């Protein structure tokens, strides 16, 4: 049974940093593209960042709204994907979800590409 478990959310002041983790189990982690999405109240889930499987090592993608502030990385030995968030803004407030995209991989910025999802972790940025 596949499980994705996010952690690391919390409350932080504007300009601060948080580091999210998503630990996966029940799948061949290294073969999956991994993505982070977020959903603010009253809004649709939106793409944040993605990182490729070992097919294309170190290849990443970011939404324009977080480029230069967020960094996605992965540790295949630990079955974990990370999202380092710096220079946080109140508009970054949302529930953050990690998703797993199995091979053959789909379009990384589309929610429907991802087969498995975690339960989400709340990030709140105060002004």
Which residue positions in the chain have pLDDT lower than 70?
Answer: none
- Coil vs helix vs strand at 113: helix
Residue 64, judged by CB atoms within 10 A of its CB (0-12, 13-18, 19+), counts as: exposed
Cα distance between the two ends of the chain = 40
- State the DSSP code for 127: -
**Phi and psi angles of residue 78, each rounded to the nearest 5 degrees, phi first:** -105, 5
pLDDT of residue 106: 87
- Coil vs helix vs strand at 35: strand
pLDDT of residue 58: 80
- Pairing of β 70-75 and β 10-13: unpaired
CA 33 to chain centre: 11
């Amino acid at each position: 049974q596949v499980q994705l478990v996010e952690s690391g959310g919390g409350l932080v002041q504007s300009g601060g940093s948080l580091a999210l983790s998503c630990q996966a189990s029940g799948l061949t982690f290294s073969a999956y593209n991994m993505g982070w999405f977020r959903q603010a109240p009253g809004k649709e889930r939106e793409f944040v960042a993605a990182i490729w499987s070992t097919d294309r090592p170190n290849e990443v993608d970011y939404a324009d709204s977080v480029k230069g502030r967020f960094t996605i990385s992965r540790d295949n030995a630990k079955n974990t994907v990370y999202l380092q968030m710096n220079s946080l803004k109140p508009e970054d407030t949302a529930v953050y979800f990690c998703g797993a995209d199995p091979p053959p991989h789909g379009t990384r910025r589309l929610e429907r590409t991802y087969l498995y999802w975690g339960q989400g972790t709340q990030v709140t940025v105060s002004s």
